[in-house]
Amino acid sequence: MWRKIHDAPDGEDALRWLYRIAYLTVTNHWRGTNRRKKLDEKLESIGIQPAPLIQDQVVIREEVREVLNAAQRLRARDVEVLRLSLWEHLSLEEICGVLDITANAAKQRIHRARENLVREYERNQQKIVSPAAQEGHAP
């Protein structure tokens, strides 16, 4: 609208002109979104993971940062087993070999470490929410 403001009609036609611009802008956005969706589907069908949208990347980075912050508050033993399983992608047998423990012990350690990570992550999320929001009031 601002680019074509000098073409704006006077009087009641101006409102109709503004609605037309808004309609065309939204339609163009939907068309672009549909093209992106079809391209993503095509990429996925041939085994290529499409890149996330920039706004999704921002959210993902923030979530990763919060998970890493939660991981920093874990015991070294928990961090060690999480790194082996999640970061290094070691199998259960490989983790057993590295830590020199049984399969049951490895399963328990992984399970407890994940529970501890979730607990720390959720604890941090509660700190982010304002006390008024926790009580059900507006933030």
User: Which tens digit of pLDDT belongs to each residue from 93-116?
Assistant: 999 999 999 999 999 999 999 999
How is 49-115 classified by DSSP, letter by letter? PPPPPHHHHHHHHHHHHHHHHHHHTS-HHHHHHHIIIIIS---HHHHHHHHT--HHHHHHHHHHHHH
Question: Based on the structure, what is the number of domains in the chain?
Answer: 2
Evaluate whether 45 touches 73 at the Cβ level (below 8 Å).
no
Q: Identify the pLDDT of residue 129.
A: 57
Q: State the Cα–Cα distance between residues 19 and 95, nearest whole angstrom.
A: 62
Range of the domain at 18: 2-45
More confident residue, 43 or 88: 88
Could you tell me if 77 and 118 lie in one domain?
yes
> Mean of the pLDDT values across residues 43-65?
81
Q: Identify the pLDDT of residue 112.
A: 96
Could you tell me if 33 and 93 lie in one domain?
no
When the pLDDT of each residue in the chain is averaged and rounded to a whole number, the result is 86
More confident residue, 83 or 139: 83
